[in-house]
Amino acid sequence: MPSFDIVSKVDAQALDNAINVVTKEITNRFDFKGSHVVIDLDKKEFKIKIETEDDMKMRQLLDVLISRAHKQGIAPEAFDFSKEAYQSGKLTRKEVSVRNGLRQEDAKKLVKHIKDSGLKVQAAIMDDIVRVTGKKIDDLQEVIKASKGWNLGIPLQYENMRN
């Protein structure tokens, strides 16, 4: 029976490359010359720690991060900017977490959308992936097409297509 998996992964190497490109660009930009900027990636926890002198530079840095990560193939939805920046002495600090893997509530929303679509497929949650099975590959392709239209707020990838 044909099947495929829906996942939400971020490639650690692509994220590291994006951080390196952002660091290189910030050191060369005129508006950041002589200012204190620190971008640190924690690869184990998928968190980015950012320090700047003020809130305006923080916003500029986040814009550069999103655009460079997008060029590396990382969807902007992968970044969780919900934590507010906070003042620490003269510096503004922010911790941005990178979503890696489907959370349980996101997987449940995804399964609900698949069932509401009316296609003849089954969806099952397996840890941090959703496996979709059906009798025809055409039905599976319809699920992929439909899921690109759902605004879930998370980046989705489709892998492991089997016949």
The domain total for the chain is 2
Check whether residue 61 and residue 136 sit in a common domain: no
pLDDT tens figures, 138-163: 888 988 888 888 888 888 888 888 88
Containing 136, the helix (H) or strand (E) segment is none
Is the C-alpha dihedral spanning 55, 58, 60, 66 positive or negative? negative
pLDDT at 25: 92
pLDDT at 48: 94
Residues 48 and 18 in one domain: yes
pTM of the model: 0.82
Whether residue 130 sits in one domain with residue 92: no
Q: What is the pLDDT of residue 102?
A: 87
Q: Residue 51 CA to chain centroid, in angstroms?
A: 21
From CA 14, how far away is CA 59, in angstroms rounded?
22
C-alpha span between 159 and 131 (Å, rounded): 10
State pLDDT tens for residues 95-122: 999 988 888 888 998 999 988 888 899 9
CATH code, 150? 3.30.70.860
Q: What is the residue range of 46's domain?
A: 12-98
Last residue of a domain, one of 69, 98, 127: 98
Please answer whether residues 9 and 158 qualify as being in contact, where contact means their C-beta atoms are separated by less than 8 angstroms: no
